[in-house]
Structure 1
């Protein structure tokens, strides 16, 4: 009850805070029109671009890699900086198309913006659908010559606005951003670079397991319990995978889920063919996925990592309820099959992803 009241209060206060923040920070002292040409950029004058990915979302960063690559492919001398946060930073840690990574810390926006402003970026690209006050302030203080934002045509802070089509995959939005940079018909594949140390570590782990050829990865977890597989559903999926005697079932999931996964493995009673390796970071997860033959996962970043690595999968989604999430953030790959929960959300409750038929899952 207290949590619900707090949410009501926050929903009431949010537009007030945002309105005040916009009055303070929705401004730009100088419009650098020499960098603009017909609502696009004059790329003969652009030497550096800063991308803001301070949401810390791993899947978003995976998809974003296509933008970094396509820009440097077309303009190899351009400096690309990325403002990143948390584990998502590892996705671009070894990316050859990213020149500078700026680590974002909430509450430290002014300090980071001061550092960035000294680098004098020509272009700043923000991906936020709704800007919070600290983000408005941050963008203003970065002092890029041209700011580009999502649905910001009525803002003074932004020089160019682009749109998100909620009937198409998110890569359509990135393609429209690349068009602003004069790039048409781009390659929309994603790239993840893991580094030599990670590659060698996963090779060593797999060697200890006898270099299995039929690894099926099961990721039961997403960002919330409503989007994660429960124990009963995880066991049901596991037994389906283990029906094929050639398969090795490998669980992935954060360390906080260790006891839960170990209980599931104990119930399955086949420790020779069921493994839960202790992985150090998202890049080891990526490298392990490269050696798998199939993935089963709910709607989360593992979907986009699997697509980046070209691994067949089944991805489980909740029914769309107006946001078209399964289209916008779906796998968008011929190697992926989407299965949907039949649960319909009621007022104040999230839909349960576990209301789907395991028989619909495919395991090659």
Structure 2
């Protein structure tokens, strides 16, 4: 606890020093009122998604589509890394993808390349800016920078106000309205081909683990859910997860029964293809939920309930009418009303 407190204090000092160095922008261009894109001659927009979060990237696709529908000639660039890149590699609304690496020299090299391309608008949706993020934004030298709740920053020319207590699509909608883009849908898009499976059974994708242990289901709970699913006819369960968890996932499948198996995925697009083929996805709050939302797949998702400090359930809920949400006690992902799981499985799989 003491070490954690020391780390928190040091982080505050680092951020304060970083802001002192990087929170400035010169020259500051004037902003012409009215439609921001048209009146300020915006021909290129750069989005920062350097955290590489897959679910966030899936949700971002609503923005890319909305901009291109109204302004098809605007160049859209995205900085990202890891599996998140796969989500937009085939997206016709994204013109250029930049690979992010967190080493200072590589950030400087990337920013120099981007600065030479002279982007008109840089967009950052970060809640908290790391020092390296401040440096990247500054060195990219876009004509205008826009962020969330950045009214008191010199580095940003525009700010979108958001309290982070409503769905994430509202934030992105506020941003689109701010820059003069009318949007007619919040639907996500992933451009990929569905998986061909040699089966006539219904395919159930069971995704046990989220990005952190606190939001993951226990192995015992996953086995319990899997056994409940196999009470229904014509079922095959495909259990997915990172290759580093192969041993645990294989053991879970063995304990559920012979109609359950671990399904290895070599890339995020393998998972996308499987979900696109699936009849039902059961998953905690993680990227699989947003991928399933993109294809309007039936899903049962388990979320930790919000409290005064945690608001992920409301903010990152599935953006799909096909989703059934079960809320677990915020102290333990397994602490949900089991009868709700039984009810939703019955509604989905009976008949």
TM-score range, shorter chain: over 0.9
In structure 2, C-alpha distance between the alignment counterparts of 1:156 and 1:96, rounded to whole Å: 34
CA distance in 1: counterparts of 2:125 and 2:243, whole angstroms: 30
* CA deviation after TM superposition for structure 1 residue 242, in Å: 0.3
Partner of 1:300: 286
Tell me if structure 1 keeps the 8 A contact 2:279–2:297: yes
Counterpart among 21, 26, 30 of residue 24 in structure 1: 21
2:38 paired residue number: 42
Q: Conserved in 2, the CA contact under 8 Å of 1:164 and 1:170?
A: no
In structure 1, C-alpha distance between the alignment counterparts of 2:205 and 2:271, rounded to whole Å: 10
Task: Confirm or deny that 1:248 pairs with 2:230.
Answer: no
How far is the alpha carbon of 1:184 from its aligned partner? 2.6
* Secondary structure at the counterpart of residue 184 of structure 2: coil
Corresponding residue for residue 15 of structure 1: 12
Alignment partner of 2:305 out of 319, 343, 347? 319
* CA contact 1:218–1:252 (8 Å) conserved in 2: yes
Contact 2:126 2:148 in 1 (8 A): yes
Q: Which residue of 2 aligns with 1:341?
A: 328
Alpha-carbon shift at residue 18 of structure 1 (Å): 1.3
Match of 2:178 in 1: 180
Pair 1:151-2:137 in alignment: no
Q: Measure, in 1, the Cα distance between the counterparts of 2:257 and 2:316.
A: 36
| Counterpart contact for 1:250–1:276, Cα < 8 Å | yes
Question: Is 1:36–1:42's contact at 8 Å kept on the other side of the alignment?
Answer: no
Distance 1:43 1:91 in 2: 32
Q: CA deviation at 1:147?
A: 0.4
Partner residue in 1 for 2:275: 289
Q: Structure 2 vs 1, CA of residues 43 and 276 (structure 1 numbering), >3 Å: closer, same or farther?
A: farther
Q: Over residues 167-214 of structure 1, what are the superposed CA-to-partner deviations in whole Å (9 max), with x where a residue is unaligned?
A: 3210000001111221234311000112xxxx38x32xx13xx3x341
Provide the rounded CA distance (Å) in 2 between the counterparts of 1:190 and 1:229: 26
Cα distance in 1, alignment partners of residues 120 and 150 from structure 2: 19
Where 1:42 maps in the other structure, the secondary structure is: helix
- Seen in structure 2, the aligned counterparts of structure 1 residues 36 and 146 have a Cα distance that, compared at 3 Å, is farther
User: Could you tell me how far apart the structure 2 residues matched to 1:241 and 1:269 are?
Assistant: 11
Partner Cα separation in structure 2 for residue 24 and residue 12 of structure 1: 19
* TM-score after normalising by structure 2: 0.93
1:279 aligns with 2:265: yes
**More divergent stretch after superposition (79-88 vs 40-49):** 40-49
Unaligned segments of structure 2, at least 5 residues: none
Greater than 4 Å deviation, 4+ residue runs: none
1:51-99 Cα distance to aligned partner (Å, 9 max, x none): 0011111000000011011101100111000011211111111110000
Q: Which moved more, 1:39-48 or 1:285-294?
A: 39-48
Instruction: For residue 37 of structure 1, give the secondary structure of its aligned residue in structure 2.
Output: coil
> Which 10-residue stretch deviates more, 310-319 or 256-265?
256-265
Instruction: Decide which of 329, 336, 342 is 1:356's aligned counterpart.
Output: 336
SS in 2 for 1:188: coil
Secondary structure of 2:246 counterpart: helix
Pairing of 1:1-364 with structure 2 (within 5 A):
4-33=1-30, 36-37=32-33, 40-42=36-38, 45-107=41-103, 108-194=106-192, 199=193, 202-203=195-196, 206-207=197-198, 210=199, 212-270=200-258, 273-322=259-308, 323-342=310-329, 344=330, 351-361=331-341, 362-363=344-345, 364=348
8 Å contact 1:294–1:313 — kept in the other structure? yes
With the length of structure 1 as denominator, give the TM-score of the two structures.
0.90
CA distance in 2, matches of 1:43, 1:297: 45
> RMSD across aligned C-alpha pairs, in angstroms?
1.6
Which residues of structure 1 form unaligned runs of 5+?
Answer: 345-350
